[in-house]
Structure 1
Amino acid sequence: MKNILHIISSTRGAESVSTRLGNEIINRVTNTNPGSTVTTLNLETDPLLHLNESRTNALMTPLHLRTEQEISELAHATKAVEQLLASDIVVISLPFINFGVPSSLKVWLDNIVQAGVTFSYSANGPEGLVQGKKVYIALASGGVYSDGPMAAYDHATPYLKNVLWFIGVTDVEVIRAEGTKIPGIQETSLQKAIESISI
């Protein structure tokens, strides 16, 4: 039995390829692990708050020194961290937007990367505190960016993997549905991605 967190960052609802791919990954995980629970965080319908001056100051204040106002300011961020820490498996449905991640997913990352909570600083440098998680990135892109001449334009995958590594998540698998806007490829891109899932 696994606790699964599904993070949806597409704005396309039922038409989203990344969301559909993420759902297929979850189906495989739940079939392999009966009794698993799934928590869905849809950043389109339930977005987190962007950082502003007061929330940034609150995040930079050590936990034990935060005021009631600061704790209230960060309630949404605290919930997001709790969801992450409670999960065994995280599925991030990631549409490839202008060579990077959607702004809603960037905001989620800004809220969960917290000193003293998901990472700490030691004499040896930063240490991730989010341990023992498996992350699947269900990536959908209109073009092909895994290799070839456009590979250098993929800023989404390395960025997301680096942030996850920074907070301690090292077991990350990327499953790609590529060429969803390319004639001759788009018809089979999602199915090929689904067939590549190995749980």
Structure 2
Amino acid sequence: MKLLHVDSSILGESSVSRALSAELVHKLARTIPGLEIRYRDLAAEPVPHLSGAYLAGASIEAADRAPELQQDLALGSELLEEFLAADIVVIGAPMYNFSISSQLKAWLDRLAVVGKTFRYTGNGPEGLAGGKRMVVASSRGGFYAGTSLDAIEHQESYLKAFFGFLGIDDIQFVRAEGIALGAEQRTRSVEAARQEITLLAA
């Protein structure tokens, strides 16, 4: 089996989502013999945001493409293929300003490709990337789930909608909330998330 591990936090070693996603991958590797792991750090190696040239690039003959465009198209193809090849996808996804990081959004934009991960039909869009298991290590400074702030939560809800559109319905979230409310709360939240990881990986 193949696992794709993606981190998107800009906080480096201080990141809760990175710590949780790493623990997830470590425990899954211990329970799945021969698991092949591919890692991508979207903060260390950012994916360029989409451009008009990139979207139009597929219709341009290869010989007529500028070198920069050719490199961008090659990267997009690489990102898509490694995602499609994965049986399991683990994502470290912190909440930034009620949503996901721009680094993660840039990566997602390279995955939504008509004819590859979804298609339009007479009955509406159809996802083509189903059959994967997805686990998201989610971190949030405050408390949102089940509170009055749930209405402005566009992090987990967006990821669930996005991957659902691609046909992936097996998506689980390991969540650490309230991590900005002091060291004691951060420790409690991270420990609770780690207990969830143990259950998920079992």
Q: TM-score, normalised by structure 2?
A: 0.90
* In structure 1, distance between residues paired with 2:60 and 2:32: 40
Alignment of 1:41-190 (within 5 A): 41-58=40-57, 61=58, 67-68=61-62, 69=65, 72-183=71-182, 184-190=184-190
* In structure 2, distance between residues paired with 1:139 and 1:153: 16
Aligned residues between the structures: 193
Check whether the contact 1:7–1:40 (CA below 8 A) recurs between aligned residues. yes
How much identity, in percent, do the aligned residues show? Answer: 35
Secondary structure class of the residue paired with 2:49: coil
Post-superposition, which runs of at least 4 consecutive aligned residues in structure 1 deviate over 6 A? none
Deviation at 1:55, TM superposition (A): 0.6
Check whether the contact 1:49–1:76 (CA below 8 A) recurs between aligned residues. no
* In structure 1, distance between residues paired with 2:171 and 2:51: 30
* In structure 1, distance between residues paired with 2:142 and 2:169: 27
* In structure 2, distance between residues paired with 1:35 and 1:162: 31
1:16 aligns with 15
Q: RMSD in angstroms over aligned alpha carbons?
A: 1.5
Secondary structure class of the residue paired with 1:142: coil
Output the amino acid matched with 1:178: E
* In structure 2, distance between residues paired with 1:80 and 1:157: 22
* In structure 1, distance between residues paired with 2:159 and 2:103: 13
* In structure 1, distance between residues paired with 2:173 and 2:19: 15
Secondary structure class of the residue paired with 2:89: strand
Deviation at 1:29, TM superposition (A): 0.9
Structure 1 window deviating more from structure 2 (173-182 vs 68-77): it is 68-77
